[in-house]
Amino acid sequence: MISYKHAIVDGTKIFYREAGNNQAPVIVLLHGFPTSSHMFRNLIPALARRYHVVAPDLPGFGFSDAPDRKQFRYTFAHLAEVIGKFTEVIGLERFAIYIFDYGAPVGLRLALAHPDRITVIISQNGNAYEEGLSEGWNPIQKYWKEPTAENRAALREFLTPAATRWQYLYGVEDETRVAPESYTLDSALLGRPENDEIQLDLFLDYASNVALYPKFQEYFRTQRPPLLAVWGTKDPFFLPPGAEAFRRDNPDAEVRFFDTGHFALETHAGEIGEAIGEFLERRLRPKVSAA
In a domain, residue 37? The reply is: yes
Q: Which pTM was predicted? A: 0.96
pLDDT at 287: 45
In a domain, residue 64? The reply is: yes
In a domain, residue 262? The reply is: yes
Domain that holds residue 75: 3-134+209-283
Catalytic residue among 31, 38, 52, 262: 262
Cis peptide before 105, with omega less than 30 degrees from 0? no
CA–CA separation, 259 and 235 (whole Å) = 10
pLDDT at 290: 38
Q: Which residues contact 118 (CB under 8 A, 6 or more apart)?
A: 94, 95, 96, 97, 110, 111, 225
**Crossing angle of helices 195-211 and 180-190, rounded to 10°:** 100
In a domain, residue 157? The reply is: no
262 noted as active-site residue: yes
pLDDT at 284: 78
In a domain, residue 288? The reply is: no
What's the number of domains the chain is made of? 1
| Polymer length in residues for the chain | 291
- Looking at this protein, which amino acid is placed at residue 165? R
In a domain, residue 112? The reply is: yes
In a domain, residue 54? The reply is: yes
In a domain, residue 139? The reply is: no
pLDDT at 286: 45
Mean pLDDT of successive 10-residue stretches along the chain, which has 291 residues: 97 98 96 98 96 98 97 97 98 97 98 97 98 96 97 97 98 97 97 96 98 98 97 98 98 98 98 97 60 34
CATH number of the domain to which 96 belongs: 3.40.50.1820
With the C-alpha atoms ordered 156, 143, 57, 173, is the resulting torsion angle positive or negative? positive
Q: Which residues contact 136 (CB under 8 A, 6 or more apart)?
A: 236, 237
Say if residue 150 is exposed, middle or buried (CB neighbours under 10 Å; 0-12, 13-18, 19+).
Answer: exposed
pLDDT at 193: 94
